[in-house]
Amino acid sequence: DVKVTQSSRYLVKRTGEKVFLECVQDMDHENMFWYRQDPGLGLRLIYFSYDVKMKEKGDIPEGYSVSREKKERFSLILESASTNQTSMYLCASSPRLAGADTQYFGPGTRLTVL
Amino acid sequence: AQSVSQHNHHVILSEAASLELGCNYSYGGTVNLFWYVQYPGQHLQLLLKYFSGDPLVKGIKGFEAEFIKSKFSFNLRKPSVQWSDTAEYFCAVNGNTDKLIFGTGTRLQVFP
């Protein structure tokens, strides 16, 4: 079974703090994704990565950055957390095929910014 | 740009009722279509997917979905829901990229 793990289930931070969310997958998938999930808005893509050291902006990248130094690990960074970044953050991975295949999701990190 | 619309935001049913959740997408080319489910407190997981072939796709737990190309739709159905189907359901689509575009989700509550 594919396993995607996220470093924290719950996180509380203060405005202005730098926040790191870590994601690790164990299936040697090329693609990794970061989404945020908000009620009534569904899942919105923040950033994704096709390969090590490669990243592309998703639909809502403002206020976020990412890092992918190893194939299995994809980090989301909030450089200066703000209250409007309070949300559920989901990481996902998928193999790189011709066209999308199933994405496998982690359990999510519920981030609260005070 | 691709987009996905889920018409029902919140659906409340009694056990044994039939379910149909609407999903429409906008994209003119070949698409892959997905339904994901998120049970309370659990990971988002794949319910079923359509890539090609028979437009009627069967998934886990008795769910099925029908791809109707002319209507740009991929509605999810289940003939008889159970209390354990209480969850949030997301439709997703992709065109010629590895990215998925998700709908806003439908929250289903099933009462015994």
* Residue B95: predicted pLDDT: 73
pLDDT tops 90 at residue A45: yes
Q: What is the Cα–Cα distance from A48 to A61, expressed in whole angstroms?
A: 10
Q: What is the Cα–Cα distance from A2 to B75, expressed in whole angstroms?
A: 27
The answer for residues whose C-beta is within 8 angstroms of residue A110's C-beta and 6 or more apart is: A9, A10, A11, A87, A88, A89
Cβ within 8 Å, pair B104-A41: yes
For A5, nearest residue in chain B (alpha carbons): B43
Give the closest of B9, B51, B98 to A31, CB-based: B98
Sorting pLDDT into bands at 50, 70 and 90, what band is A100? Answer: low
pLDDT tops 60 at residue A110: yes
Cβ within 8 Å, pair A90-B45: no
* Residue A78: predicted pLDDT: 97
To the nearest whole number, what is the mean pLDDT of chain A? Answer: 93
How many percent of chain A have pLDDT more than 70?
95
pLDDT tops 90 at residue A2: no
Chain A with chain B: Cβ pairs closer than 8 A: 52
CA distance B82 to chain A (A): 24
Q: What is the Cα–Cα distance from B42 to A101, expressed in whole angstroms?
A: 21
Least confident of A24-28, A95-99, B33-37, B42-46: A95-99
Q: What is the Cα–Cα distance from A103 to A4, expressed in whole angstroms?
A: 10
Report residue A82 CA to chain centroid gap: 17
Give the closest of B90, B98, B104 to A40, CB-based: B104
Strand residues in B1-112 grouped as ranges (E):
3-5, 10-14, 19-21, 24-26, 32-38, 44-50, 56-58, 64-68, 73-78, 87-94, 101-102, 106-111
Least confident of A32-41, A90-99, B57-66: A90-99
- Residues B77-110 have pLDDT tens digits of 999 999 999 999 999 998 767 788 999 999 999 9
Q: What is the Cα–Cα distance from B79 to B59, expressed in whole angstroms?
A: 13
* Residue A98: predicted pLDDT: 54
pLDDT tops 80 at residue B28: no
Give the closest of A33, A41, A107 to B43, CB-based: A107
Cβ within 8 Å, pair A96-B94: no
The chain B residues in contact with chain A (CB within 8 A) are: 6, 9, 32, 34, 36, 42-46, 49, 51, 90, 94, 96-100, 102-105
* Residue A95: predicted pLDDT: 86
Q: What is the Cα–Cα distance from A89 to A95, expressed in whole angstroms?
A: 21
Q: What is the Cα–Cα distance from A65 to A72, expressed in whole angstroms?
A: 17
Cβ within 8 Å, pair A99-B34: no
The chain A residues in contact with chain B (CB within 8 A) are: 4, 31, 33, 35, 40-45, 48, 50, 58, 90, 92, 94, 96-97, 99-100, 102-103, 105-108
